Amino acid sequence: MTTVSLYEAKTHLSSLVERAAAGEEILITKHGAPMARLVPAAIKARPRKPAGALRVRRLSADFDAPDEAVALLFAGGGER
Protein backbone atom coordinates (compact mmCIF):
# COMPACT_ATOMS: atom_id res chain seq x y z
CA MET A 1 0.00 0.00 0.00
CA THR A 2 1.32 3.41 -1.00
CA THR A 3 1.17 6.24 1.54
CA VAL A 4 0.83 9.88 0.47
CA SER A 5 0.27 13.10 2.39
CA LEU A 6 -2.97 15.02 2.04
CA TYR A 7 -1.12 17.82 0.24
CA GLU A 8 0.38 15.35 -2.24
CA ALA A 9 -3.03 13.72 -2.72
CA LYS A 10 -4.61 17.10 -3.54
CA THR A 11 -1.78 17.92 -5.94
CA HIS A 12 -1.79 14.56 -7.77
CA LEU A 13 -5.41 13.42 -7.34
CA SER A 14 -5.94 12.46 -10.99
CA SER A 15 -2.93 10.17 -11.15
CA LEU A 16 -3.74 8.67 -7.74
CA VAL A 17 -7.29 7.88 -8.88
CA GLU A 18 -5.91 6.20 -12.02
CA ARG A 19 -3.56 4.09 -9.87
CA ALA A 20 -6.39 3.15 -7.52
CA ALA A 21 -8.62 2.21 -10.46
CA ALA A 22 -5.83 -0.10 -11.63
CA GLY A 23 -6.01 -1.94 -8.30
CA GLU A 24 -3.53 -0.14 -6.06
CA GLU A 25 -4.56 0.91 -2.53
CA ILE A 26 -3.38 4.36 -1.44
CA LEU A 27 -3.39 5.58 2.16
CA ILE A 28 -3.79 9.34 2.61
CA THR A 29 -2.30 10.82 5.76
CA LYS A 30 -2.47 14.20 7.48
CA HIS A 31 0.55 15.06 9.62
CA GLY A 32 1.51 11.36 9.52
CA ALA A 33 -1.85 10.10 10.79
CA PRO A 34 -3.97 7.93 8.46
CA MET A 35 -7.08 9.82 7.33
CA ALA A 36 -8.47 7.99 4.28
CA ARG A 37 -7.85 5.10 1.94
CA LEU A 38 -8.24 5.29 -1.85
CA VAL A 39 -9.30 1.92 -3.28
CA PRO A 40 -10.78 0.75 -6.59
CA ALA A 41 -14.56 1.01 -6.85
CA ALA A 42 -16.49 -2.25 -7.02
CA ILE A 43 -18.35 -2.16 -10.33
CA LYS A 44 -21.14 -4.65 -10.77
CA ALA A 45 -21.89 -5.68 -14.33
CA ARG A 46 -25.57 -5.41 -15.13
CA PRO A 47 -27.21 -8.00 -17.36
CA ARG A 48 -27.88 -6.78 -20.86
CA LYS A 49 -31.41 -5.62 -21.60
CA PRO A 50 -33.17 -6.48 -24.85
CA ALA A 51 -33.53 -3.66 -27.37
CA GLY A 52 -37.03 -2.20 -27.09
CA ALA A 53 -36.89 -0.49 -30.50
CA LEU A 54 -36.36 -3.86 -32.18
CA ARG A 55 -39.17 -5.41 -30.14
CA VAL A 56 -36.77 -7.98 -28.71
CA ARG A 57 -38.35 -9.47 -25.60
CA ARG A 58 -35.56 -11.76 -24.43
CA LEU A 59 -31.96 -12.73 -25.22
CA SER A 60 -30.89 -16.35 -25.33
CA ALA A 61 -28.44 -17.47 -22.65
CA ASP A 62 -25.69 -17.99 -25.24
CA PHE A 63 -26.19 -14.60 -26.99
CA ASP A 64 -22.65 -13.43 -26.17
CA ALA A 65 -21.02 -16.84 -26.72
CA PRO A 66 -18.33 -16.94 -29.41
CA ASP A 67 -19.40 -18.24 -32.82
CA GLU A 68 -17.01 -20.86 -34.22
CA ALA A 69 -17.67 -19.87 -37.84
CA VAL A 70 -16.86 -16.22 -37.17
CA ALA A 71 -13.74 -17.16 -35.16
CA LEU A 72 -12.57 -19.31 -38.08
CA LEU A 73 -13.01 -16.38 -40.48
CA PHE A 74 -10.98 -14.09 -38.20
CA ALA A 75 -8.27 -16.73 -37.96
CA GLY A 76 -7.99 -16.77 -41.76
CA GLY A 77 -9.63 -20.16 -42.19
CA GLY A 78 -11.74 -19.05 -45.13
CA GLU A 79 -15.47 -19.27 -45.67
CA ARG A 80 -17.59 -22.24 -44.66
pTM above 0.75, yes or no: no
Give the model confidence (pLDDT) of 10-21 as tens digits.
Answer: 999 999 999 999
Say if strands 33-38 and 2-5 run parallel, antiparallel, or are unpaired: unpaired
| pLDDT for res 26 | 97
How many structural domains compose the chain?
1
79 falls within a domain: no
| pLDDT for res 35 | 97
Say which CATH number the domain at 27 has.
3.40.1620.10
Domain holding 14, by residue range, is 2-38
Mean pLDDT confidence for 23-42: 95
Mean pLDDT confidence for 70-80: 77
74 falls within a domain: no
Give the model confidence (pLDDT) of 52-72 as tens digits.
Answer: 667 777 778 888 888 888 888
Judge contact between 38 and 13, C-beta under 8 A.
Answer: no
